[in-house]
Structure 1
Amino acid sequence: MSDFSNFHLSDRSKIITKELPGPISRELLEEQSRLEGSIVSYPKSFPMAINRAKGAIIEDVDGNHLIDFFSSAGVVNLGHCNEEILEYTSQQQSRLIHALDYPTRLKLDVIKDILSCLPEDMADQYKVSFVGPTGADAVEAAVKLAKIKTGRDNIIAFRGGYHGMTTTALALTSNTRFRSKFKSLDANVHFIPYAYCYRCPVKKTPDTCHTDCVDYLGEVLENTFSGIVKPAAVILEPIQGEGGIVVPPPGYLEKIAQVAKENDVLTIFDEVQAGFFRSGRFLSFLHSDARPDIITMSKGLGGVGFPIAAILYKKEIEAWSTGDHVGTFRGNQVSLAGAKGAFDFVRKHNLIAHIDNISILLNGKLKALQDEFEVIGDIRGKGLMIGVEIVDDRQTKKPAPQTAKKIRDNCFQRGLIIELGGYHDNVLRLLPPLIITPDILTDAVNILHNSLKAIYEN
């Protein structure tokens, strides 16, 4: 099994300036503020200007090395500038870059790679369409296909779900902070509770839960007085990302798909963030036996950050005709080369075994932190998609967003990038590159420990 040590810029964090941002970063941040639009967001949370990155290490323009435990929002699953994958993309750039939606050997090989990663009972039942080039594009395409197939407009989404920032994708996203400035989006979207067991929406406990939240979906679909006309589809993230790494209990996804099927409603699983081996499986729903009608993919599919998006869907719901969904940048050939390189890399290095092993190490270290610090209320996730929920009190589970923010900011100053999420912005979202080494992971957790200690002791 590969140890991946050669795929990283260095083996640990290194902060050489007095504070972050350093002086050169400050100059570039000020210049950015003058020249670039105000929608810029990440430099507000992590103020730095980047020089280069490799593996799990980002080097800023001042020479500081920071550990990326966010993988650039889950895009660089196989690490920054993975040289094995870059060999594929550099060779492709001299052959063919843009080919609209014409067939190429490369595109067909990537489609075969995608389908080959599905269980045997699924592989020959699905087709692939490249949309693009972002996850929101995949969501838009999935919803469009569902509406064409069923002839209906309504969509049921879930609280805590995040599906993108384009019009329909934003309408499916429950965070009202993103939606509050718009007088209208897609009006035919209805939200129901997700299985957030740490904060159960129907007030059950593990010993009394029978996935009652699925019964709520059944009630909505079957009760003619629910106020919701039969939808085209139900869309959900099998593991909620932005919502705080919320993992539903065993059997939940299967029951959602079954209830939808019984009511002639399609099921869309959004795997944009949790997909491409992030959870330790090719797609996160493959930890279950659920079989959705449509699956969205993007982010990690591009290997090391090349933009690409696709949907997988059952052949039986093929409903659109030539040109029903077009786009100039569908399946860019360089992005496809990145995807091909990524699939080959996963197989060559037996990456799933590495993820399983390294996730055990990470969870063990996080559990030790939980034993030491009362502010850690819950640790949950699959593979290398982990959420650490910060609370004021473990008994009341009162969210502690300000404490979470202090932890994130303190970690950044010490050389660790962790993003926040969750219904209350109180969850540390840990998404390190899948090629993270034990040494870099240990350094990252030590930084987290020191940050907790500094905050807790004050």
Structure 2
Amino acid sequence: MFETYHLGQGASIVTAVPGARSRALLALQQQIEGRIVSYPIGLPIAIKNAKGAIVQDVDGNRFIDFFSGAGVLNVGHCNPDVLSYVEEQQKELIHMLDFPTENKLEFINSILSFFPENTRGEFKVSFCGPTGSDGVEAAIKLAKHKTGRSAIIAFQGSYHGMTAGALSLTSNTRLREKFGSLVPDVSFIPYSYCYRCPYNKNEESCQLDCAGYLETLLNNPHSGFSKPAAIILEPIQGEGGTIVPKDGFLERIIKIARKNDILVIFDEVQCGFFRTGKFLESLKLKTLPDILVMSKGLGGIGFPISAIIYNKTIESWDAGDHIGTFRGNQVSIAAGRGALAFVKQNNLEEHTLKMGRYLINKLKEICTWNPYLGEVRGSGLIIGIEYVKDKKTKEPYPELVKELKKISFENGLLFEIGGHFNNVIRFLPPLIINEEIIENAMQIFELANRAVLKLKNEGQLNLPIEKAD
């Protein structure tokens, strides 16, 4: 159960959080680093080292990491099996533009080996710049190049990155409001968010109206929509609140797009690389999209890399139509190869599904006694926990979530918040977590839930409480 791959099996808080050394480094960071720094605001620590699912700060406090560097560290921090690949590669070659190497070509073949045998030969891989945003930019360029059209349809709740093109496809208006000019001709339509159905349907009455709306837009000459080059979506929305669409939604979108000669792009930057059990969430479908975007976990243990996997039939571009100095860094590729080998050798796909079920069941137990926990949802180890002021009205409760995050952090559990209204706790632990780590994390999380209920009942929700032993 991967015990030796972690820096312990639980949290250990030995000082006030943040401790003195962390406070000093946080203060220095404020002085000399730009103000775009964000994560230390909600999780104010300075980190010294990490292994597996355990992070240690400079004051000696240990935390259970249920964030994994925003879903990057799928096989854990500093996985020694992956590091062995990295160390060997660093001795031979680090940077070599897009020249062929055995390292790179083996990686591409390994990626394609996870596709169904009857479709494996239909796809190619292209490496992009180091980030998921770079992969999204490349996917959009290819779609526009192939179709000769410029419009893109994206979805409400989407997050595709922070470069100009990727941000144009991201629905969070707060991230976009100060930029008067981004990439034009992007339209947003409702996603399959069943807990907050925009059509006020329930499970019995749902006819995938959200997908039907797309069909209406494309078929109605007075819809105001130009025929797009592509439709882009996350098969499980991440930052939007870990939204898992209703069964059949993704296939319906692909079918509608095919009928209208529109390309489909799946952004699997966060939900890909075994986070839902499969190498890609798309591989659970009978029909694959035209372009898939990968990053985050693809770099094994945090090495930056991104790639697009696309059907050969849409390859319209030629040499130099899309370039980048840091495409496919050889060390990042080696780390990715090591991570793929680790997954296969340790049957991590099955382990991820097992741990995901175990964790979701633990969270659903809290749902039975916490009147503000509206829904637990997820697939594998990408999990969302949505809090509301009332389970009938579903009014969002971001204030409670903020306090939950603070209390959990002070007791040794790290996670982040997302959702349309910042009322969803997002769990993205490394896939190598085991039952003992989950139990320890859930003790902290249950403590935080009970502490917040106590504060709520006493009318002191926003006041600090004593940290648990």
> Is TM more than 0.5 here?
yes
| 1:249 pairs with 2:243 | no
Which residue, out of 321, 324, 328, partners 2:325? 328
Which residue, out of 313, 317, 338, partners 2:314? 317
Which residue, out of 270, 283, 300, partners 1:273? 270
The Cα shift of 1:285 comes to 2.2
Q: Which residue of 1 aligns with 2:12?
A: 14
* Equivalent pair of 2:152/2:186 in contact (CA under 8 Å): yes
Residue 9 of structure 1 aligns to which amino acid in structure 2? L
The one-character-per-residue Cα deviations of 1:86-110 (angstroms, maximum 9, x if unpaired) are 0000110010000100000110011
Which residue, out of 287, 292, 297, partners 2:294? 297
The Cα shift of 1:359 comes to 1.3
| 1:165 pairs with 2:176 | no
| 1:60 pairs with 2:57 | yes
| 1:185 pairs with 2:165 | no
- Tell me how far apart the structure 1 counterparts of residues 283 and 424 of structure 2 sit (CA, whole Å): 24
Which shows bigger deviation, 233-242 or 347-356?
347-356
Q: Which residue of 2 aligns with 1:238?
A: 235
- Tell me how far apart the structure 2 counterparts of residues 406 and 281 of structure 1 sit (CA, whole Å): 34
Where 1:79 maps in the other structure, the secondary structure is coil
Q: Which residue of 1 aligns with 2:449?
A: 452
The Cα shift of 1:203 comes to 1.4
Which residue, out of 110, 120, 124, partners 1:123? 120
Residue 72 of structure 2 aligns to which amino acid in structure 1? V
The Cα shift of 1:437 comes to 1.3
Gaps of 5+ in 2: 456-469
Which residue, out of 361, 367, 390, partners 1:393? 390
The Cα shift of 1:358 comes to 1.0
* Equivalent pair of 1:152/1:231 in contact (CA under 8 Å): yes
Alignment of 1:71-82 (within 5 A): 71-82=68-79
The one-character-per-residue Cα deviations of 1:393-425 (angstroms, maximum 9, x if unpaired) are 101111100101110111000000010000010
Q: Which residue of 1 aligns with 2:460?
A: none
* Equivalent pair of 2:276/2:353 in contact (CA under 8 Å): no
Q: Which residue of 2 aligns with 1:383?
A: 380
Q: Which residue of 1 aligns with 2:459?
A: none
The Cα shift of 1:25 comes to 0.1
TM score, norm. by length of structure 1: 0.99
| 1:176 pairs with 2:173 | yes
* Equivalent pair of 2:93/2:330 in contact (CA under 8 Å): yes
Where 2:92 maps in the other structure, the secondary structure is coil
Residue 2 of structure 2 aligns to which amino acid in structure 1? F
Aligned residues: 455
| 1:154 pairs with 2:151 | yes
Where 1:396 maps in the other structure, the secondary structure is coil
| 1:367 pairs with 2:384 | no
Residue 147 of structure 1 aligns to which amino acid in structure 2? K
The Cα shift of 1:201 comes to 1.2
TM score, norm. by length of structure 2: 0.96
- Tell me how far apart the structure 2 counterparts of residues 175 and 346 of structure 1 sit (CA, whole Å): 34
Q: Which residue of 1 aligns with 2:399?
A: 402
* Equivalent pair of 1:376/1:390 in contact (CA under 8 Å): yes
The Cα shift of 1:363 comes to 1.3
* Equivalent pair of 2:18/2:44 in contact (CA under 8 Å): yes
The Cα shift of 1:375 comes to 1.1
| 1:42 pairs with 2:64 | no
- Tell me how far apart the structure 2 counterparts of residues 352 and 68 of structure 1 sit (CA, whole Å): 20
Q: CA RMSD in A?
A: 0.7
- Tell me how far apart the structure 2 counterparts of residues 378 and 280 of structure 1 sit (CA, whole Å): 21
The Cα shift of 1:79 comes to 0.4
The Cα shift of 1:5 comes to 0.4
Which residue, out of 251, 254, 259, partners 2:256? 259
* Equivalent pair of 2:130/2:326 in contact (CA under 8 Å): yes
Q: Which residue of 2 aligns with 1:434?
A: 431
Q: Which residue of 2 aligns with 1:420?
A: 417
* Equivalent pair of 1:8/1:54 in contact (CA under 8 Å): yes
The Cα shift of 1:184 comes to 1.1
Gaps of 5+ in 1: none
* Equivalent pair of 1:236/1:268 in contact (CA under 8 Å): yes
Residue 57 of structure 1 aligns to which amino acid in structure 2? I
* Equivalent pair of 1:251/1:288 in contact (CA under 8 Å): no
* Displaced runs of 4 or more, over 6 A: none
* Equivalent pair of 1:239/1:245 in contact (CA under 8 Å): yes
* Equivalent pair of 1:250/1:288 in contact (CA under 8 Å): no
Where 1:43 maps in the other structure, the secondary structure is helix
Which residue, out of 352, 355, 360, partners 1:355? 352
Identity value in percent:
54
* Equivalent pair of 1:234/1:268 in contact (CA under 8 Å): yes
The Cα shift of 1:122 comes to 2.4
The one-character-per-residue Cα deviations of 1:4-34 (angstroms, maximum 9, x if unpaired) are 00000111100000x2110000000000000
